[in-house]
Amino acid sequence: MDSKRLFLFNTILFFSITVNTAFAQVIAGPMPGHVELRTAKIWVEVKPGSAVELWYWKKNEPASAKQLGKKTPVDSWFAPVTFDIVALDPNTTYEYAVVAGFSSKKPAKADGEFTTLELWQYRKPAPDFSFLTGSCSYFNEPKFDRPGIPYGKDSSIFVSMAKENASFMLWLGDNWYTREVDFFSKWGLWYRASRDRSLPILQPFLRSMPHYAIWDDHDYGPDNGDKSYKFKETSRDVFVNYWANPTYGQDGKGIYSTVNYGDCDFFLMDDRYFRSNDDMAAMAYGQPNPDKRMWGTVQMDWLKNALLHSRAPFKFIVTGSQTLNLSSPYDCLQNYPAEFNELMAFLSAEKINGVLFLTGDRHHSEVIRYDRLSDYTLYDITSSPLTSGVAKVSGKDKENPNRIPNTLVEAQNYTRISLSGKPKERKLTVEFIGVSGNKLTEWSVTEQELKNK
């Protein structure tokens, strides 16, 4: 290469690095998603048209560092990226760091760490562990919010959550709130996810543990959204791109999936994509209306098979709307009696042990019991709100005889659920925790109580 061409080459190289660095910027994350025995997902959002690298290494073994790189399309509105890390060792802690732009050097400092699952099956008892859960996080954006008292409350709850030593966080829906400026356009749906995810107060929590999610109406689209929502495919795209769950529905429809951790199986339900409108008549010709469904026939069939396939002593059916509350004036699976009856008949006929419901949406927390004629009692653990306004219970819900005494929380809170004890004697403890990490109340149930005698 002559000196003139070398000068030109160097100039182009200099400008391409400069331009690349100028546009390179991490907007949100990194955030670990689904972590398995030998694989892990790390999510991050960068600017469109930038390069981004993920570095990872075994903790205390910097020489084991490896990197993955991606380039995001220039012409996309937003550029969330998920890295799939493979060929990891089980039960091993890895550190990771995200670098905007391309780098040939391992970053000096890690952004966070994750630990792959332990291969305990056929070897030792299931591990004790805890996880966090919660729903309804509203972040104010005054120029687009409704006038009046801001709906979003104290976001420092995420600072407390970041300090928890939990195995993962399970978001129960209404994880962000689309407004009028968002849900009338495809771009708006992307904007809301990106803007809320980028808020600085959330970042330490995103990095602190793996995150899983379902959605409810507000992160799906408009209030009480149903299967008729015209942008539901875009909503699904946004959800798929802003979370890092193991899978999203089947055949490109819905967002349902399963997650296993220790001796718990989680059935992550989609209560929006297939949902009939809340106002559809619950009864038709004196019978439960077979057309009114919350999960839809395909997802219900999937759930039944997934429950039968599960050997876990604790089976969490995780869904946005409440499921067992006879006194609720709001949407609840019982307002979909054909589907509710079908599920109850199935659980009894197939003698499915260990079922619990985990729900959100209500803007208060509580544990509701549902006594069955000849089967063990079912419980619905409702966890809400993280940062949105509190809704106090009213009417006949106020004196709900099926609420477990001392479990009602009418304040911002998140939930810590812990599993402990020897095989066959496992205990599940539910703690509702306030903004500053203070325990508000607790309730527990044993593996044996979730079985027919």
Q: At which residue do the structure tokens 């079922």 appear?
A: 355
Task: Tell me the per-residue interface mask from 229 to 268 with Fe ion, x by CB under 5 A, - otherwise.
Answer: ----------------------------------------
The distance of closest approach from Cβ of residue 217 to Fe ion in the complex, given in angstroms and rounded to an integer, is 4
CA distance 280 to 449: 36
Residue 271 interacts with Fe ion (CB under 5 A): yes or no:
no
Residue 331 interacts with Fe ion (CB under 5 A): yes or no:
no
Sequence-distant (≥ 6) Cβ neighbours of residue 22 within 8 angstroms: none
Are 189 and 442 in contact by the 8 Å Cβ rule? The answer is: no
CA distance 208 to 162: 6
Span from 52-60, 178-186, 356-364, 414-422 in contact with Fe ion (CB under 5 A): 356-364
For residue 250, list its beta bridge partners.
253
For residue 133, list its beta bridge partners.
170, 415
CA distance 322 to 366: 11
Q: Which is nearer to Fe ion, 61 or 223 (CB)?
A: 223
CA distance 449 to 428: 11
Span from 100-108, 201-209, 335-343, 360-368 in contact with Fe ion (CB under 5 A): 360-368
Residue 219 interacts with Fe ion (CB under 5 A): yes or no:
no
Among 226, 361, 366, 380, which residue sits at the site for Fe ion (rule: CB under 5 A)? 361
Residue 174 interacts with Fe ion (CB under 5 A): yes or no:
yes
Span from 104-112, 177-185, 248-256, 357-365 in contact with Fe ion (CB under 5 A): 357-365
Side chain identity at residue 123, one-letter code: R
Are 418 and 429 in contact by the 8 Å Cβ rule? The answer is: yes
The distance of closest approach from Cβ of residue 264 to Fe ion in the complex, given in angstroms and rounded to an integer, is 24
Span from 40-48, 106-114, 139-147, 361-369 in contact with Fe ion (CB under 5 A): 361-369
The distance of closest approach from Cβ of residue 388 to Fe ion in the complex, given in angstroms and rounded to an integer, is 9
Q: Which is nearer to Fe ion, 164 or 217 (CB)?
A: 217
Span from 139-147, 353-361, 373-381, 423-431 in contact with Fe ion (CB under 5 A): 353-361
Among 111, 216, 331, 380, which residue sits at the site for Fe ion (rule: CB under 5 A)? 216
CA distance 94 to 57: 5
Are 59 and 133 in contact by the 8 Å Cβ rule? The answer is: no
CA distance 412 to 136: 10
Q: How many residues does the chain have?
A: 453
Question: How many chain residues interact with Fe ion (CB under 5 A)?
Answer: 4
CA distance 427 to 65: 39
Counting Cα atoms < 13 Å in the Cβ hemisphere of 83 gives 27
The distance of closest approach from Cβ of residue 393 to Fe ion in the complex, given in angstroms and rounded to an integer, is 16
Span from 34-42, 174-182, 258-266, 311-319 in contact with Fe ion (CB under 5 A): 174-182
Residue 217 interacts with Fe ion (CB under 5 A): yes or no:
yes
The distance of closest approach from Cβ of residue 331 to Fe ion in the complex, given in angstroms and rounded to an integer, is 8
Residues that bind Fe ion (CB under 5 A): 174, 216-217, 361
